Structure 1
């Protein structure tokens, strides 16, 4: 439902889901940002940014993660990597992984999020699958809807969960820093730095089922 403004009120009751303490999260991010730190950088209102980022006029810190390594990698790195016309593997440019890593996190406490997993979940917030399937060109609109949903689920909603667009069998989440304690997520094992030989091997292993690999 792009280019359609949110209604005056929620049409239904948003679905609450609890991610229990101990849930594993996998986060692909810039190495300069600490693995468990919430991102403080807002997206522009109209350009760049992610699906549910904060913006300058709607500030909050946030953290995206996958509930499986593949979801984190595919969402972060395979967004615009096309399949090869000759049937060969998709080649991920090395510029796409420059100074990036995957951090392994664990929830230190239960977290309550809005589920955007099903058609019924989406209908409860006045939306359909467009909200979680739209491509990057429409992120200014998905962000606007995300802010609207966030406002109407205050204070209990600590984030959203939805199906990964690029690995529908897995889930991805955004957590809101202003509604989570500072120790809500903790690092549970050493991060994988994609700029190392071991990191490249790990990444290629995750990418292989998606007919993709790092470019030579």
Structure 2
């Protein structure tokens, strides 16, 4: 018999019951002031830039897509570190792992500033308690539950709000955001011209290597 401890269970392997949004849907509303900075990690594909809303590509996400045609969304984070954790490191185990070149070389980090107040459903703190759900039932549930959690995004949209805010699962000191493209328009977000990171080579890749090393993630410079 081995004296070693059994491996810790992976919570993503267990079923999570996702309740439907309550009716009436009356969330705590968090106001994001004008001048707030948001960070995005996105693929540098032709025609895409930091303020581009996703019109429905990539299948179902936690709070999107819904509607016909789908309501476009923009996901962002409160800090550049949270933006990396919620994108490039989204599927890397907390115990550590690695990033291959094809997973980061086309990735760009950019920043936006709000030019007006945005009204967001608060899916954190007492905002979750008001709605009668736990983080594990909404904001930290595994990917296979997204077809159920998207109903919460639809409820936020139906309530007339600009989007939702919650604490990043992978960087839980910082907020994550989803904004709706038919509520938040181009002139509501200003591109921050003096910020940007292109992770292909140079100092920006070195920054990514150092950040990930701190979290026990190896950034490979060539595919093995």
Q: Is the TM value for this pair above 0.5?
A: yes
- Aligned partners of 2:116, 2:133: CA distance in 1, in Å? 29
| Structure 1 counterpart of 2:39 | 26
What runs of 5+ residues in structure 2 fail to find an aligned partner? 1-15
Which aligned pairs between 1:77-96 and structure 2 lie closer than 5 A?
77-82=88-93, 90-96=97-103
Structure with max Cα Rg: 2
Q: Label 1:101 to 1:144 Cα distance change in 2 as closer, same or farther (>3 A).
A: same
Residue 168 (structure 1) shift: 0.7
Which of these residues, 185, 194, 209, is aligned with residue 181 of structure 1? Answer: 185
Q: C-alpha separation between the residues in 2 aligned to 1:207 and 1:183?
A: 34
SS of the equivalent of 1:39 reads coil
Report the Cα offset of residue 42 of structure 1. 4.6
Residues 48-79 of structure 1, C-alpha deviations (whole Å, 9 max, x = no match): x3211224646211111110111100010112
Q: Which residue of 2 aligns with 1:193?
A: 198
- The gaps in structure 1 that reach 5 residues or longer are none
Instruction: Tell me if 1:102 matches 2:109.
Output: yes
* Matches of 1:83 and 1:67, distance apart in 2: 20
Partners of 1:163 and 1:171 within 8 A in 2: yes
**Alignment RMSD:** 2.1
Q: CA offset at residue 196 of structure 1?
A: 2.5
Q: Normalization by structure 1: what TM-score?
A: 0.84
Tell me how far 1:40 sits from its aligned partner. 1.5
What are the residue-to-residue correspondences of 1:130-169 with 2, within 5 Å?
130-151=137-158, 153-154=159-160, 157-169=161-173
Report the TM-score when normalising by structure 2: 0.81
What CA distance in whole angstroms lies between the structure 1 residues aligned with 2:110 and 2:58?
22
Is 1:211 aligned to 2:222, yes or no? no
Q: How many residues align?
A: 202
- 4+ long deviations beyond 4 Å: none
